Amino acid sequence: MASPRAISTANRIVSINQVLKINLHKNGKKLPLNMSLEKKRFIYSLAFPLAFLLLIWVLFAFQAEMELSFVRGGVYPRHLSGLPGILFSPLIHGDWKHLLNNSAPLFLLSLALFYFYRDIAYRIWGLVYLIGGLLLWCVGREAYHIGASGLIYGLGAFLFLSGLIRRVRKLMAISLLVVFWYGGMVWGLFPFDTAVSFEAHICGAFSGLMLALVFRDLGPKPDMDLPEDEDELPEDEDELPEDKDELPEDEEEEGMPEHGQDIPENKGG
């Protein structure tokens, strides 16, 4: 029987698949997506997340098999010897539980990034990786920080904020899915457990939010049929009559009842 974790991950992949099938709308008509093209894009989007996750698992399996510890390869803040950890810490995990907890969210969030933001995905992913690690090196506690959770927080924060500010339906849906799946991650920003690097979570989330703002004009464009402001007035406001009830003289004469003509009673809607 499948484990609850496997079932949960499968359900989340199905949710992403449903978002992928959202149809575009134009002038009130649905335009079906080219599914052959979408499948190719989906497969392409799987490549890097799977390769990176495989690298993490191979490294951990080697560590476990050889009974080694790569903890000293993590980030050690404000020490030059800890700088290489910016590159290596997301690859290193302390035990199987640590690895399993990070694998599903890392894969799913990376998949969403590479599918929906494919034009800027490598830049966003790489910058979250480096900026989050560098910030952690600057502000973290003096201890070895390992694991991909900082990267996870960065990707989640980027997908959440970027989907809200870009005015693209599919990206807004991804924002909601991030909240639905991983809304509980917010508790990881607080120092409830000293064994957990909450600083890595904060630094990762900050880098993701910052990049969502910096790259807001790059990548997916807003849907054309989404108005910027429902209450927006026409550019030439002089064309609007000062009084909405004012009618042109001709229409006013036609609309006025003749002398002795009954005025129909207004019965409401």
Give all domains of the chain, ordered by start, each with its CATH number: 4-214 (1.20.1540.10)
Per-residue pLDDT of the chain (269 residues; tens, 9 = 90+): 555 555 555 555 555 555 544 444 444 444 455 567 878 888 899 999 999 999 999 999 999 999 899 999 999 999 999 999 999 999 999 999 999 999 999 999 999 999 999 999 999 999 999 999 999 999 999 999 999 999 999 999 999 999 999 888 888 888 888 888 777 888 888 888 888 899 999 999 999 999 999 999 988 877 655 555 444 444 444 444 454 454 455 444 444 444 444 444 444 44
- Cα 87 to Cα 24, 90, 137, 146, 169: the distances in Å are 39, 7, 11, 11, 35
Those residues with Cβ within 8 angstroms of residue 221's Cβ, 6 or more apart along the chain or in another chain: 166, 168
**Reported pTM:** 0.71
